[in-house]
Structure 1
Amino acid sequence: MSKQTNILQILPATGWVAVYDESGEESAASLVCFALVETLDNGNRQQEVRPMHANGKRIAFADEAANFLRVEELAEFTGDEEDDEEEEAEDEVDA
Structure 2
Amino acid sequence: MAVKALWQCDRDGKMFTNKKDADAHDQMLELAESIAQAIEENVPGIESEKLDDIGRLIARNKDLFSKAFKGKTAELTKLDFAEPTTDADADNKVTKINKVS
* Shared fold (TM-score, shorter chain, > 0.5): no
Whichever structure has more helix as a proportion of its residues is 2
Structure with higher RCO (Cα < 8 A, 6+ apart): 1
Q: Report which of the two structures shows the higher radius of gyration computed on alpha carbons.
A: 1
The normalised TM-score by structure 1 is 0.30
